[in-house]
Amino acid sequence: MRYMDLRRALAARGDANAYVRSDAAVYRMIYGRPMPATDPLPEPVEDQAEDYSAEERALLKRMTAIEREAYLEIRDAAEVGDLAPSYRELQEALNGGTPWHVQKTLTSLERMGAIRCIAKRPRMAFWLPAAGIQTDTTGLRVSNDYA
């Protein structure tokens, strides 16, 4: 049935707003269930975790959403061979978190064993044991006891 016919049926039943209601409301009133979706289903998103080791996938499952976001920012930098993201970049990735929040997140990732800080000044550098990669350490004082 077309929606105009459904509206006429509602008006015949005494619904004064039959011609004002949305198509979804008319359908729901006639059939008693929500209108079927007409939009195509979204394309499935490719899961990046398939490329990770089993140990790394297990760590990702244990992380909170904020920890996962920070870890993936650091991992992306390490994969490219770039310097680790700064506190300010991590704050932006964590939707404007404070420096304290960034430090708390990094500390919890270290306790979990997901990252290991190998240089702190003048910029941070991280070793990711589960992935077996590290961020760039050019010009940094690195502690060699991380391997």
Query: pLDDT by residue (tens digit) across 36-62?
Result: 777 666 666 666 656 788 898 899 999
- Kindly provide the residue ranges of all beta strands, DSSP E only, lying in the chain, ordered along the sequence: 116-119, 125-128, 133-134
* pLDDT of 23 higher than 90: no
- pLDDT value of residue 27: 86
- pLDDT value of residue 24: 86
Distance CA 73, CA 43 (A): 24
Q: Helix (H, G, I), strand (E, B), or coil: what is residue 114?
A: coil
Assign 96 a pLDDT band (cuts: 50, 70, 90): confident
Burial 32-53 (b: 16+ CB within 10 A, else e): eeeeeeeeeeeeeeeeeeeebe
- pLDDT value of residue 108: 95
- pLDDT value of residue 110: 94
From the centroid of its chain, how far is CA 35? 30
Q: Helix (H, G, I), strand (E, B), or coil: what is residue 128?
A: strand
Of residues 144 and 74, more confidently modeled: 74
| Ordered structural domains, the chain, with CATH | 1-38 (no CATH), 49-134 (1.10.10.10)
- Amino acid identity, position 82: D
Distance CA 101, CA 94 (A): 9
- pLDDT value of residue 42: 67
- pLDDT value of residue 3: 81
The closest of 15, 39, 42, 40 to 26, measured between CA atoms, is: 15
pTM, rounded to two decimals: 0.64
Query: pLDDT by residue (tens digit) across 103-120?
Result: 999 999 999 999 998 887
- Amino acid identity, position 143: S
Q: Helix (H, G, I), strand (E, B), or coil: what is residue 134?
A: strand
Q: Are 4 and 21 in contact (CB under 8 A)?
A: no
Between the alpha carbon of residue 29 and those of residues 16, 17, 20, 23, 131, the distances in Å are 13, 12, 13, 10, 55
- pLDDT value of residue 45: 61
